[in-house]
Chain A
Amino acid sequence: MKQTLMGNDAIAWGLIHANVDMVSGYPGTPSSEILSGVQKIKKMLSLPVYAEWGANEKVGFEVAYAGAIAGKRACATMKQVGLNVASDALMSAAYIGNLGSMLLVSADDPGFYSSQTEQDSRVFAKFARIPVLDPSTPQDAYDFTKLGVELSEKFKIPVMLRPVMRVCHAREIIEMDDTTEFKPNEGKFVRDVPRWGAVPRDGRFAQGLDQLERVEVIAKYNWDHFLKPQFDGCKGGELLIITSGTGYGFTQETLKDLGLEADVVKIIMPYPLPVKEIQACFDAYDKVLIVEEPYPCIEEQIAHPKVYGKNTDTVHKIDEMKKEEILKAFQKIGFYKGENIYEAPKIDLGFSVPARPPALCPGCPHRDVYYAIMKVFKRKKSIYPSDIGCYTLGIAQGAIDSLLCMGASVAMASGYSIADPSKDVVATIGDGTFFHSGIPPLLNAIYQGHRFVLVILDNSTIAMTGRQVTPSRVHQPIDIKKIVEGMGVECMEHHYSHHMHENVDFFKKVKEKYDQSTSGPTVVVVREFCILDAERASDFVPNIYVKVDEDLCVACDQCTTVYKCPPMSYNDKGKIEIDPFLCAGCAGCLEIVCPTDAFVVDENYLKKGK
């Protein structure tokens, strides 16, 4: 059956068609639509599938992995930095293995489109000594998902599927199974303490020996099934190109565009590689070029004097794949001598196109909360550690001084408060991130008596990654305030208001409490909403649209430099204007934001056709 699918939907269908009935994970771009895709299919076909978000990636992985131990076909999904969080579990699972099937999907993001790092999950698979499959297209993603599930059950070890963003978020017409005959494995835990409970040193040592042997066996399988058939069809000559993942598609197109021919081998399983067998094929060529992203994972395994790639400065080392980069690599090794056909002619517009930097949505409550915090805790006397989420975009307002990784704001607030006690440390963290990894560092701060302000921005959703539900909203709702109180400290609560003075007044109270405190954190939860949250937003947005009274606007820049709502920009007359198509009707800018009160209610606002 032909279907136009996004890569992540293709993976979701692959899981269902491979009879996977336990899917757990944590949202993260570009992986999030895999689990939500499974949820949709489950609903559509009424399938008996467990498909739920875990509290974080480690939890998600462990839920699925236990299923795989008990004979189920299971899958955990996450983005590449999520694998850092799950890595402790993965490293041991790679020794212990599974009876059913354990597919780990870790989606990479070459080019840093929505990630803090450009790390390569294939290298992680190599580190953990588990096989990894690298799809080139959504079709591959579907096929390799099914393949990965089979291989995991065959070799009794977790298998990684590593799609990159250009696979996850690519759309293609793919060929998939006509029907869904869903036949999941029966779950049956078989007691085997020496295996599931292997204790150091002897138990794990023995599993380590098995692991080494298994890697050899899988490398041989890789050769027999995936590589030998391709090498058998190769002609030999000037250049052999070895690629994997998206590198394959980019290489094929570049060759076609330039009218060149070379043998191209697509590595389906970049680890473990049958190194000797591959290197033996180099005799038939002058040079071997490796095209892969983002790290030189294959290149380092099959290093050889004939091999060119990132480590020889032939292929670019950072940023995502482009045909232009492959063309340049061809030029460097003397395989292509023509011009750069991917160079755009220079066009002088006579002006530079204004940047559109990432910004919080028009009407997002995070903006107002940051604004209020900064009105009370002044920049000069404060340090603002923050965290990962939509609220990270508050950096444009000057409301954030440092970012590290999910959950770090709290422990870093501890650290700053110790290192520079002359400053007020005011940390911000989203509710999703608090649940994910903000609780242990808060516990730490409380029992160590670290003095700072922690503001938990509770919009009851994981907004940045597409509005997945947080533990405060499903099954047995969990309240952040009670968690904080359970640790023995008060949790000040405020409901976001579109009357800015109410937000400012609240933070004045927070400052009073903080000023009076001598030890321990002052914890605050601000109840917000996400303007894109169809279920909740309409209960909160006042639908009061705003325009500018041009007589009052003195072009002071306050709104465009400190408050920064996207609809606000200067018009031809040098006055601020509000783009009626962008304004969300939140009324947040009516108070305090403009020193001359130039923002006024637009009674005639053209109602959006809802």
Chain B
Amino acid sequence: MKYQVVIAGFGGQGVVFLVKVLAICAGNRDIAFLGTENHGMSQRGGAVSCDIKIGDFTNPVIDKNQADVIIGLDSNESLRNIAFLKTGGTMVVNAKADYPSLPFAVARVDANAKALQGAFPIQGLNVYMLGVALASVKDFPFSIEEVKNAIMQMNPKVAQQNIKILQMAMNDCK
């Protein structure tokens, strides 16, 4: 298997949490995993993106025109990373309705609006968007069960809340 995911957002959105979840998913199935983080000097609020390569790879960086999926936790950050998405790839993005039309499959939800309405605390945005990816990317390499297990393995104490958010995203995308 060879699957490449870019997760884009800004500092404080929990991008790295998603990397850890996907790494555990890969580990549980005994598939190789390489990942890396790109961020500047800001601690909070600066652009952050993570490259995740699942399967037979030897370096952790995703080159342009290679990613199967981008998960954009922020609209602008998703667009900043657009060059990495390969032809035929999918953009999963948290954005308002004015998101530009792209020559890719786009799964767009306004997760900020949902959080503002109180559907889930904003700290759960990362997990919510992972749920959207699970629901809308057909060839996503892991199942919802595998992701739930990984979230449990990471920290059983707070897992229930995250699993609820994940399920909510899946239902919202039906």
Q: Is the CB of B45 within 8 A of A362?
A: yes
B residues 35-57 in Cβ contact with A at 8 Å = 35-47, 57
Q: A173-B23, A347-B82, A347-B103 are in contact. List 8 more A-B contacts (CB 8 A).
A: A172-B60, A173-B33, A249-B58, A249-B59, A253-B57, A359-B46, A361-B42, A362-B44
Known contacts A345-B65, A349-B79, A359-B46; is-contact A393 B122 (Cβ 8 Å): no
Is the CB of A606 closer than 8 A to any CB of chain B? yes
Task: Give bound CA distance, A465 to B170, whole Å.
Answer: 37
Q: A546 to nearest B CB, angstroms? A: 16
The answer to whether B63 and A323 touch across the interface, beta carbons within 8 angstroms, is yes
Number of interface residues of B (CB under 8 A): 52
Q: Is the CB of B60 within 8 A of A358?
A: no
Min CB distance B77 to A, Å, is 8
Taking a contact as CB atoms under 8 Å apart, the answer to whether A113 and B40 are in contact is: yes
Asked, given contacts A350-B100, A606-B118, A608-B123, whether A170 binds B43 with beta carbons under 8 Å apart, the answer is no
Using a CB–CB cutoff of 8 Å, the interface residues on chain B facing chain A are 10, 12, 19-20, 23-24, 26-27, 32-47, 57-61, 63-66, 76-77, 79-80, 82-85, 87, 100, 102-103, 112, 115-116, 118, 121-123
Partner of B76, one of A137, A356, A358, A390: A356
Whether the pair A392, B41 counts as a contact (CB closer than 8 A) is: yes
Inter-chain contact A171/B64, CB cutoff 8 Å: no
- Choose among A114, A252, A322, A345 the residue with the greatest number of B CB atoms under 10 Å from its CB: A345
Instruction: Provide a sorted-by-A list of 15 A–B residue pairs whose CB atoms are within 8 angstroms.
Output: A113-B39, A169-B36, A170-B35, A170-B60, A173-B26, A248-B58, A250-B61, A324-B63, A341-B65, A344-B84, A356-B10, A358-B41, A464-B41, A582-B45, A606-B118
Interface residue A205 (Cβ < 8 Å from any Cβ of B): no
Chain A's closest residue to B66 (CB) is: A342
User: When the two chains form their complex, are residues B64 and A359 in contact, meaning their CB atoms are under 8 A apart?
Assistant: no
Q: How close is B158's CB to chain A, nearest CB, in angstroms?
A: 11
Give the CA-CA distance A393 to B45 in the complex, in Å.
Answer: 13
Q: Is A543 an interface residue (CB 8 A)?
A: no
Q: Nearest chain B CB to A370's CB is how many angstroms away? A: 16
- For residue A64, CB closer than 8 A to chain B, the reply is no
Please pick, from B43, B57, B77, B84, the residue contacting A463 in the complex, using a CB distance under 8 A.
B43
The A interface is mostly helix, strand or loop, or mixed, namely loop
Q: Cβ of A171: which chain B residues have Cβ within 8 Å of it?
A: 19-20, 23, 33-36, 60
Chain B residue with minimal CB distance to A114?
A: B41
* CB contact between B59 and one of A250, A350, A351, A361 (< 8 Å): that residue: A250
A322 to B66, CA, bound (A): 13
Chain B residues with Cβ below 8 Å from A351 are 100
Cα-based distance from A334 to B27 in the complex (angstroms): 40
Is the Cβ of B87 less than 8 Å from the Cβ of A345?
Answer: yes
CB atoms of A344 and B65 under 8 A apart: yes
Q: Does residue A353 face the partner (Cβ distance < 8 Å to B)?
A: yes
Residue A2 at the chain B interface, CB threshold 8 Å: yes
Neighbouring A residues of B19 by C-beta, 8 Å? 171
Q: B10 — which chain A residues lie within 8 A by C-beta? A: 356
Within 8 A of B (CB), among A365-419: 390, 392-393
A261 CB to nearest B CB, Å: 15
| Residue of chain B at shortest CB distance from A172 | B34
